[in-house]
Structure 1
Amino acid sequence: MTGIMASRLKLLLAAIGLAVLLQPALAEPPRAVVELFTSQGCSNCPPADALLVEYSRRPDIVALSFPVNYWDYLGWKDTLAHAEFTNRQKDYAHARSDRQVFTPQMIVNGKKSCIGSDRAQIEKAIQMTGKGRSTLPVDVAIAEQNGTVTVSITETGEVPHRNAEVWVLPVLRSQTVPIERGENKGRTVTYANVVRGLKRIGEWHGGPARFELPAETARRGGDGFVVLLQVEENDRPGMILGAAKSPGL
């Protein structure tokens, strides 16, 4: 091999190595979904909202804000709240049979209720509901091409349930709200991954599965979206088996 050819080969190998180093890391499969039920009218909620912002930055966590409307009578109508989110929180309470509905309340992996600002309690719930796993039990992947979102579900090992529903949740990545009246009068609060709706796109009965929907539908009302694979128990939300979030969340 001539000296020129050897030099060119070294440059090529160096370029390939640099390209590998510059490639973005693959998305980390989530180990937990945390849902914060919060309200702009709740004086105890801003610390929990700030904690959810932190969780939203973790690649191994799917963090969601669900603003509820039952504190609107206190003098400030929550600008992001929806009755559907209040109903979801109540359904969780009925599913757990504890009837505990409060703000700020964090639900971990569809099962464990925590005080939304109590980091230690939430981390413990992540460990408990994860049962020693490093990820959720079912793999969920999303891809978007030509205006269509494809959701792929892969069963890679033993799973606790083989019947679940597939949901798409449009979210706003970040929303800052100046609160003018009520218990938080004068405060400006930033909310992360604010859910704007829940759309059921199908059922899963074990094994590989694939679902498609328009990207516009997945993002409707938001600028990103989350997919949840969630068990339904007596028409109420239960254990979350898998989840995925769109790029940027």
Structure 2
Amino acid sequence: MQPPTRSSARLFTRAIACVAAVSLLAASGLANAAAAVCSAHSPAHRVALVELYSSEGCNSCPPADNWLSQWKNSGATQSIVPLALHVDYWNSLGWTDRFSQHRFTERQQTLTDLAGGHTIYTPEIFVSGRELRSWSQRDSFDSRIGKVVAEPAQANVAVELNPQAPGAFNVSAQFTSKAADASGQLNAYVAVYENALSSHVGAGENSGATLHHERVVRQWIGPVPLVGGNAQIHRAVRVDANGADAGGSADRFGVVAFVENDATGDVLQVAELAACQ
């Protein structure tokens, strides 16, 4: 057997270096992929889901939209999880709200009916499934939030996101009831929201105005019944990003997962998670 020449030794050394580099890149890629998956879990106390029913055709809605946006980045750490649901009953009055969905009108009517009411309107605020007409009064709002947060959680919610591209990610949510004697069917929901949205309104009550929106619900998944106190939601989500303000980043998207009592409209627990990159 001939001893290796200097040339063959150099080739062997280069080959080893290439293999090492490829292995290092592969390991780095796996680490980055693993790091991209983000998750969140609801706390031991109840979290307040704040739902704003709004419309671009309503001239009293922009102040409410601005009010809701103050919590767009607070999340469950402040026990307030905001969502803006755009209804469609203003669409025939001069301006069609491209973020409106009829299912949000139906949800607003259902929550109103469960509370014994009859009339729906915009802007209207619900806190954990119950209307709060005095939401613009800070003391009243803080008092309602304080009462919700003081209660122990009656459900656990865990959510995980695996981003695929800007506006596209896989959602996995787990829901577990802690209320052994809960009256009424418990249902699980996932809402996909988007921040940094704007519209130049060309007609209707807000004609000529440029409106800015945060926490706009773009997709609504559910109800999924809890069976034996448990439910799961797994979904591949893709959101049309048209309408985002210039410079918006991928993390403007996120999900809110919650458990609701179908008989009362009470939202038992909430978890939220902004999309990671």
TM-score band, normalised by shorter chain = 0.7 to 0.9
In structure 2, C-alpha distance between the alignment counterparts of 1:201 and 1:232, rounded to whole Å: 9
Decide whether the 8 Å contact of 1:48 with 1:104 is kept in 2.
yes
Identify if the C-alpha distance between structure 1 residues 157 and 95 changes in structure 2 by more than 3 Å, giving closer, same or farther. Answer: closer
Q: How does 1:177-196 map to 2 (within 5 A)?
A: 177-196=199-218
Measure how far apart 1:176 and its partner are.
Answer: 1.2
Identify if the C-alpha distance between structure 1 residues 145 and 195 changes in structure 2 by more than 3 Å, giving closer, same or farther. Answer: closer
How many residues matched? 217
Q: Tell me which residue corresponds to 2:58.
A: 42
Aligned match of 1:238 in 265, 268, 277?
265
Aligned match of 2:73 in 57, 60, 73?
57
In structure 2, C-alpha distance between the alignment counterparts of 1:28 and 1:212, rounded to whole Å: 16
Identify if the C-alpha distance between structure 1 residues 122 and 76 changes in structure 2 by more than 3 Å, giving closer, same or farther. Answer: same
In structure 2, C-alpha distance between the alignment counterparts of 1:214 and 1:115, rounded to whole Å: 36
Decide whether the 8 Å contact of 2:224 with 2:231 is kept in 1.
no
Identify if the C-alpha distance between structure 1 residues 125 and 231 changes in structure 2 by more than 3 Å, giving closer, same or farther. Answer: same
Letter of the 1:49 counterpart: D
Q: How does 1:1-249 map to 2 (within 5 A)?
A: 29=43, 31-60=47-76, 61-114=80-133, 117-128=136-147, 130=148, 132-133=150-151, 136-144=153-161, 148-155=170-177, 163-200=185-222, 202-205=224-227, 207=229, 209=230, 211-216=232-237, 219-220=238-239, 223-233=253-263, 238-248=265-275
In structure 1, C-alpha distance between the alignment counterparts of 2:51 and 2:92, rounded to whole Å: 23
In structure 1, C-alpha distance between the alignment counterparts of 2:170 and 2:209, rounded to whole Å: 40
Instruction: Give CA deviations for 1:25-48 in whole Å, capped at 9, x if unaligned.
Output: x77736200000001111111111
Measure how far apart 1:56 and its partner are.
Answer: 2.0
Letter of the 1:247 counterpart: A
Decide whether the 8 Å contact of 1:42 with 1:71 is kept in 2.
yes
In structure 2, C-alpha distance between the alignment counterparts of 1:212 and 1:74, rounded to whole Å: 37
In structure 2, C-alpha distance between the alignment counterparts of 1:165 and 1:155, rounded to whole Å: 10
Instruction: Give CA deviations for 1:5-60 in whole Å, capped at 9, x if unaligned.
Output: xxxxxxxxxxxxxxxxxxx9x77736200000001111111111001111222222
Identify if the C-alpha distance between structure 1 residues 161 and 149 changes in structure 2 by more than 3 Å, giving closer, same or farther. Answer: farther
Structure 1 unaligned runs (5+)? 1-23
Residue identity over aligned pairs, in percent, reads 26
Identify if the C-alpha distance between structure 1 residues 244 and 89 changes in structure 2 by more than 3 Å, giving closer, same or farther. Answer: same
Identify if the C-alpha distance between structure 1 residues 191 and 156 changes in structure 2 by more than 3 Å, giving closer, same or farther. Answer: same
Measure how far apart 1:126 and its partner are.
Answer: 2.1
Structure 1 residue ranges (4+ consecutive) displaced by more than 6 angstroms after TM superposition:
none
Decide whether the 8 Å contact of 1:105 with 1:115 is kept in 2.
no
Identify if the C-alpha distance between structure 1 residues 241 and 205 changes in structure 2 by more than 3 Å, giving closer, same or farther. Answer: farther
Decide whether the 8 Å contact of 2:161 with 2:171 is kept in 1.
yes
Decide whether the 8 Å contact of 1:68 with 1:82 is kept in 2.
yes
Instruction: Give CA deviations for 1:170-205 in whole Å, capped at 9, x if unaligned.
Output: 222331112122211222221112112322263225
Identify if the C-alpha distance between structure 1 residues 120 and 184 changes in structure 2 by more than 3 Å, giving closer, same or farther. Answer: farther
In structure 2, C-alpha distance between the alignment counterparts of 1:38 and 1:116, rounded to whole Å: 14
Decide whether the 8 Å contact of 1:38 with 1:45 is kept in 2.
yes
Letter of the 2:211 counterpart: V
70-79 or 140-149: bigger deviation: 140-149
Measure how far apart 1:103 and its partner are.
Answer: 0.8
Letter of the 1:246 counterpart: L
Letter of the 2:125 counterpart: M
Measure how far apart 1:225 and its partner are.
Answer: 2.1
